[in-house]
A = this chain, B = another copy of it.
């Protein structure tokens, strides 16, 4: 068997969610694909690794020639409102919703003691410094609605409690567009306990 093919298959196989059969399929696709298309993927990977860094303020992703990301630099964003998320992907999802005008803080992870991820692996102290040094009015906790996300939110809230800043979290309840009959216990409990006045 061809050693360069094996090398390509095993490089694909190290990607998350790509099993042995998919890695083979992707490698053979690369071999059959037009040269330009295949090399575009190689170049995109190389450029992304070389040029994308974390914003020095919020830890979102930014290109290397800009230490501070476009969102933090945007004067139209309300920098007194900080939404705390686990990962850049969460930030991108919130931005795509178009319903948020403040800035962000990316923790770059969530508490996961079993995987050795404690408070020191997160960007929590940088958030504390942001709150202490700037005119921050409110922190919105937007970690994932699961056990690890909730304990991470609790950690952030506790660490910031002395600062006196207002701390909120994203609403929880029924998923818009879902069906009540398929909602699980936790969703229904959230929806009941967080019920809102009609016409509000």
A residues within 8 Å of B by Cβ? Answer: 1-5, 7-8, 10-12, 14-18, 22, 24-31, 35, 37-49, 51-52, 61-63, 87-89, 92, 95
On whether the beta carbons of B1 and A92 are closer than 8 Å, the reply is yes
Complex: A144 Cα to B88 Cα, angstroms: 44
Chain A interface, DSSP helix/strand/loop, else mixed? helix
On whether the beta carbons of A5 and B45 are closer than 8 Å, the reply is no
A62 and B2 in contact, given A45-B39, A45-B42 (Cβ under 8 angstroms): yes
* Chain B residue contacts of A12, Cβ below 8 A: 41
On whether the beta carbons of B95 and A61 are closer than 8 Å, the reply is no
* Nearest opposing residue in chain B for A43, CB measure: B42
On whether the beta carbons of A35 and B17 are closer than 8 Å, the reply is no
23 A-B residue pairings within 8 Å (CB atoms): A1-B95, A2-B52, A4-B44, A4-B52, A5-B52, A10-B44, A11-B44, A12-B41, A15-B26, A15-B29, A16-B29, A17-B22, A24-B89, A27-B48, A28-B88, A28-B89, A30-B48, A31-B48, A31-B88, A42-B42, A42-B45, A42-B46, A45-B45
* Chain B residue contacts of A22, Cβ below 8 A: 17
On whether the beta carbons of B31 and A38 are closer than 8 Å, the reply is no
* Chain B residue contacts of A31, Cβ below 8 A: 48-49, 52, 61, 88
Question: In angstroms, how far is the closest chain B Cβ from the Cβ of A35?
Answer: 6
Complex: A11 Cα to B18 Cα, angstroms: 16
* Chain B residue contacts of A1, Cβ below 8 A: 92, 95
